[in-house]
């Protein structure tokens, strides 16, 4: 039977009215995992109607190319913490009290290892109205943009996101015990990798368990390294990778190799 289906000629429905930023408000906007076109429509409307944007370091600079707002760089980078968290919170309060329409632009999602909830608490304590706009977290999108699904039927039915940021010398203190059906994603784990990777074996992770590093996910310079728990430190150094990199630990890291790089279709 011949398929006679033809696409409809009707025009696409109009886009929803974009949300506009209001004076005296602060909007915590998740910028997504890299590429500027992964920002939500709501985030786009707020970004381009704000009078001030307080941006994180990992935000795609292309997002700000045509932005008319005053830009404030509040980014924290490896070895350079920039503005302290309490300084950022005080700045947001000050700007809103001065009548600015403020977008706090944060990489990924504001509430996934982004300290967004701390900023919401500080704003609430000061009586500042605030709205949170979700973003696509790199914990899911980073692996996905490398062709790695954090869950896959019959291979992984759960995933866990862990911060690799070392606090008081306890990098990845929340690493779970190994379970063959659980994928572990480590964010901000490059600087502390020599601390937490050796702990994997003590927690029952097999030395030959697949692992992957995804560097600059969603950007043109994205790189993907597929390795194992045993070899991941050596392979990372040999590949001369760096931050920002997402680590993916589990059987799905090998499965992703057969799926290819979704960016090749762009």
SS (H, E, C) 9-67: CCCCCCCCCCCCCCCCCEEEEECECCCHHHCCHHHHHHHCCCCEEEECCCCCHHHHCCC
Residues 184, 199: Cα–Cα separation, whole Å: 13
- Per DSSP bridges, beta strands 158-163 and 210-215 are unpaired
Choose, from 56, 106, 109, 211, the residue flagged as catalytic. Answer: 56
Catalytic site residue from 60, 106, 188, 211: 188
Bridging pattern class, strands 26-30 and 102-106: parallel
In 51-172, alpha helices (H):
85-97, 116-125, 138-145
> Burial of 53 by CB count in 10 Å (0-12 exposed, 13-18 middle, 19+ buried)?
buried
Can 234 be counted among the known catalytic residues? Answer: no
Catalytic-labelled residue, pool 1, 76, 80, 157: 76
8-28 exposure pattern, b = at least 16 Cβ within 10 A, e = fewer: eeeeeeeeeeebebeeebbbb
Sort strands 130-133 and 26-30 into parallel, antiparallel or unpaired. Answer: parallel
Is residue 76 flagged as an active site residue?
yes
C-alpha–C-alpha distance, residues 64 and 47, integer Å: 9
> Among the residues of 16-127, which ranges form H helices?
41-47, 85-97, 116-125
Measured CA to CA, the distance from residue 117 to residue 11 in angstroms comes to 41
Query: Do 192 and 113 form a contact (C-beta atoms < 8 A)?
Result: no
Answer yes or no: 211 catalytic.
Answer: no
Q: Which residues are known catalytic residues?
A: 56, 76, 188
């Amino acid at each position: 039977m011949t398929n006679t289906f033809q696409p409809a000629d009707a025009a696409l429905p109009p886009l929803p009215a974009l949300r506009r930023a209001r004076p005296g408000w602060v909007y915590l906007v998740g910028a997504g995992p890299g590429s500027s076109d992964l920002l939500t429509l709501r985030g786009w409307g707020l970004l381009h109607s704000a009078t001030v944007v307080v941006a994180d370091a990992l935000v795609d600079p292309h997002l700000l190319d045509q932005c008319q707002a005053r830009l404030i760089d509040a980014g924290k980078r490896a070895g350079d913490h920039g503005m302290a968290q309490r300084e950022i919170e005080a700045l947001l309060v000050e700007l809103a009290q001065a009548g600015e329409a403020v977008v706090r632009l944060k990489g990924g999602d504001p509430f996934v290892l982004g300290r967004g909830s701390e900023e919401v608490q500080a704003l609430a304590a000061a009586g500042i109205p605030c709205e949170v706009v979700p973003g696509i977290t790199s914990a899911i999108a980073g692996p996905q943009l490398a062709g790695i699904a954090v869950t896959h039927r019959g291979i992984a039915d759960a995933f866990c996101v862990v911060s690799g940021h070392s606090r008081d010398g306890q990098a990845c203190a929340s690493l779970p015990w190994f379970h063959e059906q659980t994928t572990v994603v480590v964010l901000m784990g490059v600087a502390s990798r020599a601390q937490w990777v050796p702990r994997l074996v003590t927690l029952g992770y097999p030395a030959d368990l697949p692992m992957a590093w995804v560097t600059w996910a969603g950007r043109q310079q994205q790189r993907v390294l597929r390795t194992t728990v045993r070899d991941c430190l050596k392979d990372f150094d040999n590949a001369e990778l760096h931050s920002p990199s997402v680590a993916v630990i589990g059987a799905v890291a090998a499965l992703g190799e057969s799926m290819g790089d979704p960016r090749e279709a762009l």
